[in-house]
């Protein structure tokens, strides 16, 4: 470059507006505002209540209580019982959904002609709302008029109080949850199995590997990213479950099925302490947010 060219003062580039980006924000802004109002306002209000002295007997936010509500919740034996119950329930249901879902996905992976029919049938429980599922199963498990006990009595077995016994109520609720949520895991794992390459299996057959060895050393390792995403998504759903315990048992008998979400409801509305209920809900929200961060980390690793 010559000295004359270097001394030439080049005009600064003008600020240009990306019309496509402006148009996109213009179309997205109404929806974002609606989400901010519908979702953001309740979250902000719950945070304010968690640090306030607001109860149904003292309907004023001031004076602020600081961390007293969180201390009151965290020092409650019922909270730790609900936390431990939520962990047990989440691990049990997610494990059941993954094991049964993986087995069904492996079977469907061998089906070719009627696979769409099976997928359509599997989406029925997933498409139903948890409230309707809970009401249906509550009628089926009714100790006196339920069809489950009627079938047991017809073969000479005694009827069972499925939702009245503390141990059976927990396992019954977990079974119903697995029955409904298993379909999502099946669809996700079936999509992952369909995307696996065929070359490793052909090489394994040439080397003499049987079906079990191919599943353990090829299918499971290659399916690990999809499996991790399915487990994290279902774990987030199970940690915040509320519909099933509310409709089936109302947290009972006693507090045998009182998970964290139902503990927050009972503390807020039955215990008349909206501030402590909001604090419990905020603790649950932080747990779910942590699981969401883990989910996005796993998703980025997969990409």
Q: Could you give the CA distance from residue 297 to residue 303 in angstroms, rounded to a whole number?
A: 10
Question: What pLDDT digit, counting tens, does each position of 275-303 carry?
Answer: 999 999 999 989 888 888 887 787 777 66
Question: What pLDDT digit, counting tens, does each position of 93-136 carry?
Answer: 999 999 999 999 999 888 877 888 888 888 888 888 889 999 99
Query: What pLDDT is attached to residue 57?
Result: 86
Tell me if 43 is assigned to some domain: no
Tell me if 7 is assigned to some domain: no
Query: What pLDDT is attached to residue 289?
Result: 86
Range of the domain at 149: 76-302
For the chain, the average pLDDT equals 87
Query: What pLDDT is attached to residue 14?
Result: 56
Tell me if 82 is assigned to some domain: yes
Tell me if 34 is assigned to some domain: no
Q: Which of 87-91, 141-145, 173-177 has the lowest mean pLDDT?
A: 141-145
C-beta separation of 210 from 231 below 8 A: no
Query: What pLDDT is attached to residue 294?
Result: 80
Instruction: Transcribe 174-229 into DSSP letters.
Output: HHHHHHHHHHHHHHHHHHHHHTS-SHHHHHHHHTT--HHHHIIIIIHHHTHHHHHH
Neighbours of 118 (CB within 10 A): 15
Tell me if 45 is assigned to some domain: no
Whether residue 258 is predicted with pLDDT greater than 90 in this model: the reply is yes
Tell me if 18 is assigned to some domain: no
CATH number of the domain to which 94 belongs = 1.10.3720.10
Query: What pLDDT is attached to residue 11?
Result: 56
Q: Work out the end-to-end distance of the chain between its first and last CA atoms, rounded to an integer number of angstroms.
A: 44
E strands, the chain, in order: none
Question: What pLDDT digit, counting tens, does each position of 26-37 carry?
Answer: 889 998 889 888
Tell me if 212 is assigned to some domain: yes
Domain count of the fold of the chain: 1
Q: Could you give the CA distance from residue 4 to residue 229 in angstroms, rounded to a whole number?
A: 61
Neighbours of 186 (CB within 10 A): 26
């Amino acid at each position: 470059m010559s000295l004359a060219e270097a001394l030439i003062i080049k005009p600064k580039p003008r600020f240009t507006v990306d019309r496509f980006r402006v148009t996109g924000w213009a179309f997205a802004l109404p929806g974002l505002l609606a989400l901010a109002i519908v979702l953001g306002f309740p979250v902000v209000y719950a945070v304010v209540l968690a640090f306030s002295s607001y109860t149904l007997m003292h309907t004023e936010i001031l004076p602020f209580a600081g961390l007293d509500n969180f201390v009151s919740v965290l020092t409650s034996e019922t909270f730790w019982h609900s936390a431990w119950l939520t962990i047990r329930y989440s691990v049990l249901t997610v494990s059941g959904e993954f094991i049964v879902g993986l087995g069904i996905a492996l079977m469907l992976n061998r089906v070719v002609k009627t696979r769409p029919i099976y997928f359509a049938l599997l989406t029925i429980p997933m498409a139903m709302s948890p409230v309707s599922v809970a009401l249906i199963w509550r009628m089926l498990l009714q100790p006196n008029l339920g069809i489950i006990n009627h079938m047991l009595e017809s073969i000479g077995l005694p009827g069972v109080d499925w939702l009245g016994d503390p141990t059976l109520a927990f396992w019954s609720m977990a079974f119903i949850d697995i029955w409904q949520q298993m379909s999502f895991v099946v669809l996700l794992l079936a999509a992952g199995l369909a995307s696996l390459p065929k070359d490793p299996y052909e090489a394994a057959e040439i080397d003499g590997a049987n079906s079990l060895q191919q599943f353990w050393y090829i299918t499971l390792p290659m399916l690990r990213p999809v499996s991790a995403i399915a487990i994290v998504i279902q774990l987030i759903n199970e940690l915040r479950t509320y519909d099933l315990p509310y409709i089936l048992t109302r947290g009972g008998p006693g507090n045998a099925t009182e998970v964290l979400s139902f503990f927050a409801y009972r503390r807020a509305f039955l215990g008349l302490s909206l501030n402590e209920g909001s604090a419990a809900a905020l603790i649950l929200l932080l747990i779910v947010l942590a699981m969401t961060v883990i989910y996005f980390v796993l998703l980025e690793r997969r990409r």
